[in-house]
Amino acid sequence: MQGVLEKEREAGAVRVCQGYDAAASGSLVREPASSDLLKLESQLCFPLYVCSKEVVRRYKPFLDELGITYTQYIVLMALWEEQGVSVGDLGAKLYLDSGTLTPLLKKMEAHGLVARARSDADERKVVVTLTRKGEDMKKRAADIPLKMARCVDLSSEEARLLKSLLAKVIDGIRLS
Q: How high is the pLDDT of residue 4?
A: 44
Average pLDDT of the residues of the chain: 86
Q: How high is the pLDDT of residue 176?
A: 81
Model confidence at 32, pLDDT cuts 50, 70, 90, reads low
The CA distance from 151 to 173, in Å, is: 28
For the chain, the first-to-last Cα distance in angstroms comes to 28
CATH 1.10.10.10 fits 68-175, yes or no: yes
Q: Is the pLDDT of residue 52 over 90?
A: yes
Q: Is the pLDDT of residue 8 over 50?
A: no
> Can you give the residue ranges of every domain in the chain?
68-175
Q: Using alpha carbons only, give the angle 108, 139, 84 rounded to the nearest 5 degrees.
A: 45
Question: DSSP readout, 113-174?
Answer: SEEEEE-SS-TT-EEEEE-HHHHHHHHHHTTHHHHHHHHS---HHHHHHHHHHHHHHHHHHH
Q: How high is the pLDDT of residue 29?
A: 56
